[in-house]
């Protein structure tokens, strides 16, 4: 049950990206005499000013002062947005519905409080609409670290799994997943697929596409239906279809526990596998390793971005510890893991790091004395 919403701000509540980008262009030209481009800023979308300013400082070899640059950028921003900044489509209505439904609302922005205050002042969407506000100056680790969303959920006195993050940036979805929250993506800056692979459960154009609701139960029913419909039509649906095809050939005469798996590689290709048992039980190979073997055979060394695992148990089976270690050779902590029971339809979504927090890695010989 979702009881709280944790809103990212830039690209979700306000479309400040264009104005903040212009502020960077103006400030860097005025103060550092360089012309910053869209591409220069793209890697820092949603990460907050210290990360962007330090990144640009390094990239251009600048002699800069973080606080001075931050203030300069925010002053430009406050001037640029006067009378023109508006909340994004559907935001006011969504917040109004959420209030009626008794959802608790938090803002979690990587930017400083001063930028948020300027945006709130310019649009009239003030702090009275939210139960808790976390800004970038209150947390030491920026997104994709999960701490900002842990802090925001704690501020609402809710566990993260009862909170829905609304995000538009890839680093934000990763942060939401790492904190253990669900996440809804908006297409302000990215299309659907990259947001899914960063951890979004569902992606819509903007909040005007979110159906109306007036109670907590209604909100949760709407959200679940949105996720299910979206999943079926997305890359996740394709992955589940492949795993559901693979389970048909599962060879499990001893345990009768049939498993199908499908991995998505960074090349965008999907490979399937099923469990294959043996009269000498220990020789059995799990579905996940079967899918991984097929991917390596086809592509050589590759990276797994997502895996779907289907089984017939009422609660879908997670990968065994041996498979987790095997997959860790080709997958990072932010690989998406989807578990589905084809009997009950129960669906679970994790990031790999939650299932495999401590990977065994072989040190290079002689690396440690
Ligand atoms: N199995 C898998 O295919 N994947 C897992 O991660 C867990 C177990 C298979 C192996 C065996 O054929 C059956 O399930 C029962 O252990």
181 and 156, same structural domain? yes
Is 288 part of a structural domain of the chain? Answer: yes
| 365, pLDDT greater than 80 | no
| 270, pLDDT greater than 70 | yes
Q: How large is the average pLDDT for residues 134-149?
A: 93
Domain ranges, residue 130: 4-14+85-233
256 and 178, same structural domain? no
185 and 91, same structural domain? yes
| CATH code: domain of residue 152 | 3.40.50.1000
Nearest atom in ligand 1 to the alpha carbon of residue 277 is 12
Is 362 part of a structural domain of the chain? Answer: no
287 and 192, same structural domain? no
24 and 9, same structural domain? no
Which of 63, 81, 99 lies at the terminal end of a domain, its last residue? 81
- Does residue 321's CB lie within 6 angstroms of at least one atom of ligand 1? no
SS3 category, 270: strand
What backbone phi and psi angles, to 5 degrees, belong to 238? -65, -40
290-308 pLDDT tens trace: 999 999 999 999 999 999 9
Is 157 part of a structural domain of the chain? Answer: yes
Q: How far apart are the C-alpha atoms of 119 and 249, rounded to whole Å?
A: 57
126 and 95, same structural domain? yes
308 and 208, same structural domain? no
Q: How large is the average pLDDT for residues 350-366?
A: 90
Residues with Cβ within 8 Å of 135's Cβ and at least 6 positions away in sequence, in order, are: 109, 111, 112, 113, 116
SS3 category, 251: strand
Determine contact, residues 263/271, Cβ cutoff 8 Å: yes
pLDDT averaged over the chain? Answer: 95
- Does residue 287's CB lie within 6 angstroms of at least one atom of ligand 1? yes
Which of 177, 202, 233 lies at the terminal end of a domain, its last residue? 233
Q: How large is the average pLDDT for residues 140-162?
A: 96
CA-based torsion, 193, 198, 202, 207: positive or negative: negative
The count of domains in the chain is 3
Nearest atom in ligand 1 to the alpha carbon of residue 318 is 6
Closest residue by Cα to atom 1, ligand 1, is 286
pTM: 0.90
| 366, pLDDT greater than 70 | no
Which of 55, 81, 107 lies at the terminal end of a domain, its last residue? 81
246 and 170, same structural domain? no
- Does residue 286's CB lie within 6 angstroms of at least one atom of ligand 1? yes
Please report the pLDDT score of residue 363 as a whole number. Answer: 79
224 and 123, same structural domain? yes
144 and 184, same structural domain? yes
| CATH code: domain of residue 277 | 3.40.140.10
177-206 pLDDT tens trace: 999 999 999 999 899 999 999 999 999 999
Please report the pLDDT score of residue 221 as a whole number. Answer: 98
Banded pLDDT at 163 (limits 50, 70, 90): very high
Banded pLDDT at 367 (limits 50, 70, 90): low
209-251 pLDDT tens trace: 999 999 999 999 999 999 999 999 999 999 999 999 999 999 9
């Amino acid at each position: 049950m979702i009881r709280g919403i944790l809103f990212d701000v830039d690209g979700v509540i306000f479309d400040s990206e264009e104005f903040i980008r212009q502020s960077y262009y103006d400030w860097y030209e005025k103060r550092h005499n360089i012309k910053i481009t869209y591409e220069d800023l793209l890697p820092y979308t949603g990460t907050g000013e210290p990360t962007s300013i330090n990144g640009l400082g390094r990239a251009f070899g600048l002699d800069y002062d973080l606080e001075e640059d931050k203030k300069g950028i925010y002053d430009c921003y406050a001037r640029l947005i006067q009378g023109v900044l508006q909340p994004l489509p559907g935001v006011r209505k969504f917040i109004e519905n959420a209030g009626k439904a008794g959802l608790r609302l938090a803002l979690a922005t990587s930017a400083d409080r001063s930028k948020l205050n300027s945006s709130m002042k310019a649009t009239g969407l003030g702090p009275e609409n939210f139960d808790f506000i976390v800004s970038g100056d209150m947390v030491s680790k920026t997104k994709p670290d999960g701490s900002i969303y842990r802090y925001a959920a704690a501020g609402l006195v809710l566990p993260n799994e009862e909170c829905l993050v609304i995000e538009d940036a890839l680093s934000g979805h990763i942060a939401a997943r790492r904190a253990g929250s669900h996440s809804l993506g908006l297409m302000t800056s990215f299309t659907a697929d990259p947001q899914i692979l960063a951890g979004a459960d569902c992606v819509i154009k903007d909040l005007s596409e979110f159906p109306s609701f007036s109670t907590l139960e209604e909100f949760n029913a709407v959200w679940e239906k949105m996720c299910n419909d979206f999943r079926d039509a997305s890359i996740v649906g394709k992955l589940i279809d492949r795993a559901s095809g693979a389970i048909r050939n599962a060879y499990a005469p001893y345990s009768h526990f049939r498993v199908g798996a499908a991995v998505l590689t960074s090349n965008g290709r999907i490979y399937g596998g099923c469990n294959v048992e043996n009269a000498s039980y220990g020789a059995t190979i799990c579905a996940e390793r079967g899918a991984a073997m097929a991917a390596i055979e086809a592509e050589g060394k590759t990276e797994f971005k997502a895996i779907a695992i289907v089984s017939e148990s009422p609660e879908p089976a997670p990968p065994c510890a041996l498979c987790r270690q095997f997959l860790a050779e080709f997958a990072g902590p932010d690989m998406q893991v989807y578990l589905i029971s084809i009997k009950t339809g129960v669906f679970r979504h994790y990031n790999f790091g939650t299932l495999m927090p401590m990977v065994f890695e072989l040190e290079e010989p002689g690396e440690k004395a």
